[in-house]
Structure 1
Amino acid sequence: MQPSHNTRRQHFRHPAEIPIEISSSTSVEKSTEYTHDISCDGLSFQSASALQVDHIVTLTIKLTKPRFEESARVIWCHELTTGYEIGVSFLEKDALFRIRMVEQVCHIEQYRKDVLKLQNRDLTSQEAALEWINKYATDFSR
């Protein structure tokens, strides 16, 4: 299931590994996957199961409060040796801003864990956020 010429990604991708729950109105099963890339119009993730192009799915990220939940359309689905890589496009335009905020929260939490492990400093979430923003926010916005 290759993308057509006009559905190929046209925006810069931001690598991110965020756990997401994928659900569909045509199936009672939900699966938890990890995002690979986030761009202006959507994201990609690997899945054990294929999804049909144009199928509508619900993406849920439970790491933040309130949780992120958006509908997306499957744009492409590539078979891999270990499953499928799937690209989806958000149906709502403000979804990108919200998922980028979730991505930032994930980076800050990882930073907090790294500082504890490498520097033996146990930062609060707020302290980690302030340090991370001062060090990395400029690069993150690209």
Structure 2
Amino acid sequence: MRHFVRHPSEIPVDVRVISERASHSSQICNVSNGGLCCDLAQPLPVGALVDYRIPQIAEDYLGCGRVVWCERQCQGFRVGIQFSNEQDAYRARMVEQLCQIECYRRRVAQTEGRQLSGEQAAAEWISRHAADFDRCHTLSDLSEVG
């Protein structure tokens, strides 16, 4: 049984093993209260400390975590990163929520022809989806990340 609800995502992310210089660009596959999952071209070592940057939100948005699993995929590797603390988890969830609202705004424009402001989209999205998105969990089970 999962301890963390996964929320699908397509947010660009740059991941860097702290002991290395090179950064790996990717997209977040999903986010949970425990961490995030992303697809990378190169494997990352389990246990490696990483930082991640989410430039779509802010150039200086930076979080830290630890690689808890890495699995080979058809093209590349899927990597699970555990948040290093609850503050990083909270910040990542807020980023994810903002991106979900923006996706909602675009989807409404395409499917319904309504042009919503950011505030209107946020109000609608929150009333329709926030309860499912915001299920509270604790950071406790490392194996359930991403």
Output the TM-score relative to the length of structure 2.
0.81
Q: Which residue is 1:54 aligned to? A: 47
My pick for the range that moved more, 12-21 or 43-52, is 12-21
- SS of the equivalent of 1:27 reads coil
Separation (CA, whole Å) in 2 of partners of 1:10 and 1:132? 24
User: For structure 1, which runs of at least 5 residues remain unmatched after alignment?
Assistant: 1-8
1:71 to 61, 64, 77: 64
* 1:66 Cα deviation from its structure 2 partner: 7.5
Match of 1:108 in 2: 101
Check the 8 A contact 1:68/1:99 in 2, yes or no. no
If the length of structure 1 is used for normalisation, what is the TM-score?
Answer: 0.83
Percent identity between matched residues is: 34
Partner residue in 1 for 2:139: none
Aligned to 2:38: 45
Q: Which structure has the higher relative contact order (CA within 8 Å, separation 6+)?
A: 2
In structure 2, list runs of 5 or more residues that go unmatched: 136-146
Contact 1:60 1:69 in 2 (8 A): yes
Structure 1 residue 14 displacement after superposition = 2.7
* Counterpart residue identity of residue 100, structure 2: H
Q: Which of 11, 15, 24 is the matching residue for 2:17?
A: 24
C-alpha distance after superposition, 1:114-141 (max 9, x if no partner): 1111222221111111111112111211
Do the aligned partners of 2:32 and 2:93 also contact (CA within 8 Å) in 1? no
- AA partner of residue 29 (structure 1): A
Question: Aligned residue for 1:92?
Answer: 85
The code of the aligned residue for 1:121 comes to R
Equivalent residue, structure 2, for 1:6? none
How many Å separate the matches in 2 of 1:11 and 1:115?
28
Pairing partner for 2:129 from 121, 131, 136: 136
**Count of matched residue positions in the alignment of Structure 1 and Structure 2:** 134
- Structure 1 residues 40, 46: closer, same or farther in 2, change over 3 A? same
What is the RMSD of the two structures over their aligned residues, measured on CA atoms?
Answer: 1.9
Larger radius of gyration: 1
